[in-house]
Amino acid sequence: MSDAATRIKSTITDNNVVLFMKGTKEMPQCGFSSRVAGVLNYMGIEYSDVNVLADEEIRAGIKDFSDWPTIPQLYVKGEFIGGCDIITEMTLSGELDTLFEENGVAYDKEAADKIREANG
């Protein structure tokens, strides 16, 4: 396993929810990262953010690690969930709520419902 893969594995093992993104949760650097961080922030999810722009090795390594070509990438309890489109769909369908519930991740159900109402 490469150094990047080892660091990625460690990060997703040590944190319940991890978002590999361009920028940070406070200051996203691309629209897709901003959308996913916005959903997680709004739903009150405690998550670790990894700025791939600050580390070229992680930026390249995460794509190989997940076998997924784009960033952002969301992991819950060590499992790759998806990128922006998948997270958006899961949020709107309620699947993301279920995923968090099944994994014991606290979130604001009312906020999740508001996102669905606003996009319904």
Q: What structural domains does the chain harbor?
A: 3-119 (3.40.30.10)
Is 0.85 surpassed by the pTM of this model?
yes
Residue 2, pLDDT score = 82
Residue 59, pLDDT score = 95
Residues 6+ apart with CB under 8 A from 30: 21, 22, 23, 71
Distance CA 67, CA 82 (A): 11
Q: Which tens digit of pLDDT belongs to each residue from 7-43?
A: 999 999 999 999 999 999 999 999 999 999 999 999 9
- Beta-bridged to residue 17, according to DSSP, are 76
